[in-house]
């Protein structure tokens, strides 16, 4: 995808940022009020059949996203050590599993969460690379759409990687497990919104920097080294190291969340006992799913496929599957049997339905583009 197409998609990135904030705020509300995850709410309110359907939609995307992140973590380690990336796949997955089973992950999470801030360097890199900010502004204020395979694939992948279901399912799990007072709901919603706005701005900087560097020269992004090249205007020969640090920290943060979300979705669907606070002896099935997901991800990550490729197709799958879970997110948040008198307000619900409608239309256009054409 060239620089022009890269800038052309910036309008979609800008549009997705408030969508993310809306979705996360609603997920936080469900967790705080209902005291369970989105999946738990679906199971209790709409029954096992619908819960299994949402489980399939979430887990199918999670497994491949998890594989991509495990492979990304191994490639980050390779960038930092110059050893072959496949050597780190199994050890990386094993270390994450140990951290989760021994309840050690929480102790290092707060420190690791600061390291991905190196990706803010993409903003400086975009400036040093003389990004075409006029093209960026044209894209934002005069959106362009073309019904071509690269554009449609890129758009649905962007929606799938940002509005992917594990993000808001995990938000509902995390808030529910804190068991907040009703008076704290507003604070959790605010934190969710601010967090997504920050992530959205960083993501936008990455898109612009990649368009200004790799896209300008029509260079493909297939490996971690390719992605690191977008930081060259800022870091020069240290671009690989800078990117490797941020990528490794991001992978160590994302992989446990993906694996844990998969386990929570199974547990809340079938009524198992299961929480990261439980000992493994008290939640065997929960931890079996968690560790199995890591094992499957490691096996997929060992295949001779680039992490960018795996993540790209996982994002496309996420974009197609996301409308289902978004529908249940809004339905549950407006349902008095789930939320009591604390249902979300009409403006927030309307924003969420607009988001759901937008993603559904994008998914439908993508599927339509795949239909065979008559000669």
The average pLDDT across 348-353 equals 95
Question: Mind listing the pLDDT tens digit for each residue in 138-175?
Answer: 888 888 778 777 788 888 888 888 888 999 999 999 99
> Judging by beta carbons within 10 Å of its beta carbon (0-12, 13-18, 19+), is residue 116 exposed, middle or buried?
buried
Q: What's the chain's average pLDDT?
A: 84
- Is the predicted pLDDT of residue 375 greater than 60, yes or no? no
The pLDDT value recorded for residue 235 is: 57
- Is the predicted pLDDT of residue 30 greater than 60, yes or no? yes
The average pLDDT across 34-50 equals 95
301-333 burial, b for 16+ CB within 10 Å, e for fewer? Answer: beeeebbbebbbbbbbbbbbbbbbbbbbbbbbb
The pLDDT value recorded for residue 2 is: 41
Secondary structure (3-state) at 38: helix
| Domain range summary for the chain, segments of one domain joined by + | 3-369
- Is the predicted pLDDT of residue 7 greater than 80, yes or no? no
The average pLDDT across 212-241 equals 65
The pLDDT value recorded for residue 3 is: 39
- pLDDT band for 56, please (50, 70, 90 cuts): very high
The average pLDDT across 329-354 equals 94
Range ranked top by mean pLDDT from 7-21, 198-212, 228-242 = 7-21
The pLDDT value recorded for residue 4 is: 44
Rounded Cα distance, 62 and 261, in Å:
8
Q: Which residue has the higher pLDDT, 268 or 183?
A: 268
**Which tokens go with 18?**
């408030």
End-to-end CA distance of the chain: 27
The pLDDT value recorded for residue 67 is: 92
The pLDDT value recorded for residue 43 is: 96
The average pLDDT across 97-118 equals 77
Write the CB contacts of 23 (distance below 8 Å, at least 6 apart in sequence): 163, 167, 168, 196, 326, 329, 352, 355
Length of the chain: 375
Write the CB contacts of 263 (distance below 8 Å, at least 6 apart in sequence): 274, 286, 287, 289, 290, 293
The pLDDT value recorded for residue 96 is: 93
- Is the predicted pLDDT of residue 194 greater than 60, yes or no? yes
What 3 state SS string does 225-288 have? HHHHHHHHHHHHHHHHHHHHHHHHHHHHHHHHHHHHHHHHHHHHHHCCCCCCCCCHHHCHHHHH
The average pLDDT across 60-64 equals 90
DSSP annotation of 95: H
- Is the predicted pLDDT of residue 133 greater than 90, yes or no? no
CA dihedral 260, 263, 268, 270 (to 10 degrees): 180
The pLDDT value recorded for residue 218 is: 62
- Is the predicted pLDDT of residue 292 greater than 80, yes or no? yes
**Tokens 């079938």 — which residue?**
270
**CA angle in degrees (0–180, nearest 5) for 116-4-135:** 85
The pLDDT value recorded for residue 234 is: 61
- pLDDT band for 118, please (50, 70, 90 cuts): low
The pLDDT value recorded for residue 1 is: 41
The pLDDT value recorded for residue 93 is: 95
- pLDDT band for 121, please (50, 70, 90 cuts): confident
Please state which CATH class domain 3-369 belongs to: mainly alpha
Rounded Cα distance, 129 and 189, in Å:
37
Could you give the C-alpha distances from 1 to 48, 69, 363, in angstroms and in order? Answer: 42, 22, 20
Alpha helix positions (H), 82-238:
86-101, 105-112, 121-128, 133-141, 149-162, 165-178, 185-210, 224-228, 232-235
The pLDDT value recorded for residue 373 is: 60
């Amino acid at each position: 995808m060239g620089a022009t197409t890269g800038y052309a998609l910036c309008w979609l990135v800008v549009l997705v940022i408030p969508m993310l904030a809306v979705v996360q705020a609603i997920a936080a509300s469900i967790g705080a009020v209902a005291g369970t995850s989105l999946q738990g709410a679906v199971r209790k309110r709409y029954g096992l059949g619908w819960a299994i359907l949402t489980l399939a939609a979430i887990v199918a995307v999670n497994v491949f996203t998890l594989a991509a992140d495990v492979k990304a973590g191994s490639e980050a380690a390779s960038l930092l050590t110059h050893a072959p990336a496949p050597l780190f796949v199994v050890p990386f997955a094993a270390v994450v599993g140990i951290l989760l089973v021994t309840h050690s992950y929480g102790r290092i999470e707060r420190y690791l969460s600061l390291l991905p801030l190196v990706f803010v360097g993409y903003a400086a890199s975009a400036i040093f690379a003389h990004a075409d900010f006029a093209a960026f502004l044209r894209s934002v204020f005069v959106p362009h759409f073309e019904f071509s395979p690269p554009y449609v694939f890129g758009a649905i992948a962007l929606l799938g990687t940002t509005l992917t279901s594990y993000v808001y399912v995990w938000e509902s799990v995390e808030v529910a497990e804190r068991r907040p007072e009703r008076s704290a709901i507003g604070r959790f919603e605010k934190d969710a919104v601010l967090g997504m706005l920050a992530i959205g701005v960083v993501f936008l900087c990455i898109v612009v920097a990649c368009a200004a560097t790799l896209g300008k020269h029509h260079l493909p992004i297939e490996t971690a080294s390719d992605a690191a090249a977008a930081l060259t205007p800022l870091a020069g020969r240290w671009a690989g190291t800078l990117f490797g640090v941020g990528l490794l920290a991001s992978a160590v943060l994302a992989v446990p969340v993906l694996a844990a979300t998969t386990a929570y979705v199974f547990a809340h669907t079938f009524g198992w006992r299961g929480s990261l606070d439980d000992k493994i002896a008290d939640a065997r099935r929960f931890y079996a799913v968690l560790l199995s997901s890591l094992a499957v991800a490691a096996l997929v990550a060992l295949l001779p496929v680039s992490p960018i490729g795996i993540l790209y197709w996982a994002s496309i799958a996420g974009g197609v599957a996301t409308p289902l879970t978004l529908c249940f997110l809004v339905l549950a948040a407006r349902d008095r049997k789930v939320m009591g008198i604390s249902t979300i307000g009409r403006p927030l619900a309307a924003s969420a339905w607009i988001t759901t409608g937008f993603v559904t239309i994008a998914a439908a256009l993508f599927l339509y583009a795949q239909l065979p054409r008559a000669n």
